[in-house]
Amino acid sequence: MTAIVIAGGRVVDQNGDRPADVLVDDGVVKAVGDKLRMPGADTIDASGCVVAPGFVDLHTHLREPGHEEAETIETGSRAAALGGYTAVVAMPNTDPAADSRAVVDFVRAAGERAGLCDVRPSGCITVGRAGERLAPFGELVEAGVRIFTDDGAGVQDPQLMRRAMEYSTGLDMVLAQHCEVSALTRGAVMHEGRCCSELGVPGWPALAEELMVHRDIELARLTGARIHVLHLSTAGSVELVRRAKADGLPVTAEATPHHLSLTDEQLRSFDATYKVNPPLRTMADIEALVAGLADGTIDAIATDHAPHPADHKERPLDEAPPGMVGLETALGVCLPILSDAGMSLVDIVAALSWKPAAIARLDEEHGRALEPGAPANLVVFDPAAEWEVVPARLASRSHNTPFAGRPLRGRVRHTLLHGVATVDTGTATR
């Protein structure tokens, strides 16, 4: 393994933001300091760039097994590496769903074979995500699963959710909820509000999310379970999580790049690229999400990378599946919004890296401060680079990005996984 000197950059991690070189050898950080050199080492010129712990995505749909026409573990891992990610949590709504050791072992092994990013399978809360019987938590925890979710759907039955929380407290796991009361969203295609009334299409009320956020917070209070709220999208949800944290409950939350940047107005085009679950909301919701990230109510940025083939997304709005790809654009979308809101680079990288790493219990290996001995899972990005995404050039097998034609700022140049480049000068190495 060739040693690498990352020279002339600005190191941003838990220890702050300062100019420093980083020497990587044998898969770990060997030194951080001034003018580091090593004979025979490769050099990465990081001038003008940030050198940080690699990003960790809590919410990636890799689609394999079962929907390889949309994405494979390999293509999704490549997209992740290009987005600066060194670890992703793979969502369990595959076919078959990740409710057994066989499926999670398959996903992890395929991730290892691809070798582009650490793929950590999540497990279902209920068997087949059907919302009826609890999945075998003990077996899945033993297989290394730490995040459990029925994502794509919320667990509707409060009694079953209570039981899930009770069981979870004895295990090293977190229950991550897709908060949606489905009785309130049947047939809905977009956020319920002015735009939706004007278009005359069925709406998805904010309350459908907030009721379940509230229910789960109260169940967590009752049971002591650790919960994580997936893709928070409304101002009301942010406030509920803020109060839960103030009460000292073990609740964490994430927001997606698209909910931080796009509103329901996009649906006036009737373009299903903008259809997503939960739906794009209003500017007031965006402001609340940004404020929530800035004050730490929302812990993490998570992509909800949801690839769908073009012929599915080209269907009419009511028939098209919800979801958008997001791994390759997350940094470029979020960096300008969050820096304009006054967040420091340290806080922005925290939300992309070490905070999600801690939630997923990946913090031994990912999101570590750049100190001697830390695994060299790193990203080098240019925070000033302005660029536009070209959908056809995405590494993801599906190109359903809502960000084409929009100015992005912040671009990944290099990603290192255990000291080996997965991305070199903006190009995937394999």
* Residues with catalytic function: 304
Q: Judged by CB, which is closer to ligand DOR: 178, or 413?
A: 178
Stretch that binds ligand DOR, among 35-43, 318-326, 362-370, 403-411 (CB under 6 A): 318-326
CA–CA separation, 301 and 120 (whole Å): 17
Site for ligand DOR in 89-128 (CB under 6 A): 93
61 binds ligand DOR (CB under 6 A): yes
Give the distance, in angstroms, between the CA of residue 140 and the centroid of all CA atoms in the same chain: 21
Query: Which residue among 323, 326, 383, 419 contacts ligand DOR (CB under 6 A)?
Result: 323
Residue 24: CA count within 13 A, CB half-sphere: 28
321 touching ligand DOR, by CB under 6 A: yes
Q: Indicate the burial class of 294 (C-beta count within 10 angstroms; 0-12, 13-18, 19 or more).
A: middle
- Token digits for 364? 């031994």
Residue among 255 and 306 whose Cβ is closer to ligand DOR: 306
- Nearest approach, Cβ of 104 to ligand DOR (angstroms)? 17
What is the largest distance, in Å, between two alpha-carbon atoms of the chain?
Answer: 68
What single letter denotes the amino acid at residue 328? E
Q: How far is the CB of 324 from ligand DOR (least distance, A)?
A: 7
Alpha helices in 115-264 (DSSP H): 137-142, 158-168, 194-199, 206-223, 235-246, 257-261
Stretch that binds ligand DOR, among 319-327, 363-371, 389-397, 406-414 (CB under 6 A): 319-327
Q: Which residue is nearest to ligand DOR (CB)?
A: 323
Contact (Cβ atoms closer than 8 angstroms) between residue 92 and residue 58? no
Cα–Cα distance measured from residue 193 to residue 178, given in angstroms and rounded to the nearest whole number = 21
Measured from the CB of residue 295, what is the shortest distance to ligand DOR in angstroms? Answer: 25
CA distance 139 to 68: 26
Helices (H), 275-329: 283-294, 310-313
Among 64, 150, 151, 209, binds ligand DOR (CB under 6 A): 151
> Among 184, 218, 302, 214, which Cα is nearest to 254's?
302
Site mask for ligand DOR (CB under 6 A), range 166-205, x = bound? ------------x---------------------------
Nearer to ligand DOR, 305 or 366 (CB): 305
Kindly indicate which of the ranges 82-90, 117-125, 162-170, 321-329 contains the residues binding ligand DOR, using the contact rule CB under 6 A. 321-329
The torsion angle over the Cα atoms of residues 416, 419, 425 and 427, rounded to 10 degrees, is -60
Using the minimum distance from each CB to ligand DOR, give the nearer residue, 277 or 282: 277
Q: Is 59 in the site for ligand DOR (CB under 6 A)?
A: no
Question: To the nearest whole angstrom, how small is the minimum distance from the Cβ of residue 116 to ligand DOR?
Answer: 21
Q: Is 154 in the site for ligand DOR (CB under 6 A)?
A: no
Contact between 152 and ligand DOR per CB under 6 A: yes
Among positions 23-42, residues that touch ligand DOR (CB under 6 A) are none
Residue-wise over 74-101: b if at least 16 C-beta within 10 A, else e? bbbbbbbbbbbbbbbbbbbbbeebbbbb
CA distance 379 to 86: 8
161-169, 290-298, 317-325, 335-343 -> range binding ligand DOR (CB under 6 A): 317-325
Name the minimum Å distance from CB 63 to ligand DOR.
8
Please give the residues from 272 up to 311 whose contact with ligand DOR meets the rule CB under 6 A.
Answer: 276-277, 304, 306
Q: Which residues are near ligand DOR by CB under 6 A?
A: 61, 93, 151-152, 178, 276-277, 304, 306, 321-323
